[in-house]
A = this chain, B = another copy of it.
């Protein structure tokens, strides 16, 4: 399927968590993703421009974000992009939204301690890894 995107960036608003009347948990926040380009004159990578996204998570992922994510956190998100036009009284605009399939803290920027809440505590792998003989580093 197309329109799948992976983004790294900074949580720019305090995540809002709601449960709809139908019982659907939803978390949403704004994410700032700075793009980098190599500046040959300065001989280093510099920030080029920033893309802004609205990230939305549903169900179990939404529930797990509540104790995990805060404004200012650096994260990695993968999900489906949706470009939505909206109208609010006499104003109109375009929202660039990512419906998240996975969200995690970006370990490039820090360390994280993980507590598993879903599924059996002892995860099993269905197939045998046939490549035990990976050459040593």
What's the tally of chain A residues with a CB closer than 8 Å to chain B? 88
Interface of A toward B, CB cutoff 8 Å: 1-10, 12-13, 16, 18, 26, 28, 30, 32-36, 38, 47, 49-54, 60-61, 64-65, 67-70, 72-76, 78, 80-83, 85-86, 88, 91-96, 101-119, 122-123, 125-127, 129-131, 133-135, 137
* A65 closest partner in B (C-beta): B107
Contact B104 A107 (CB under 8 A): yes
* Chain B residues within an 8 Å CB radius of A93: 93-94, 131, 133
Number of copies of this kind of chain in the complex? 4
- Contacts of A105 on B, CB cut-off 8 Å? 104-105, 112, 114
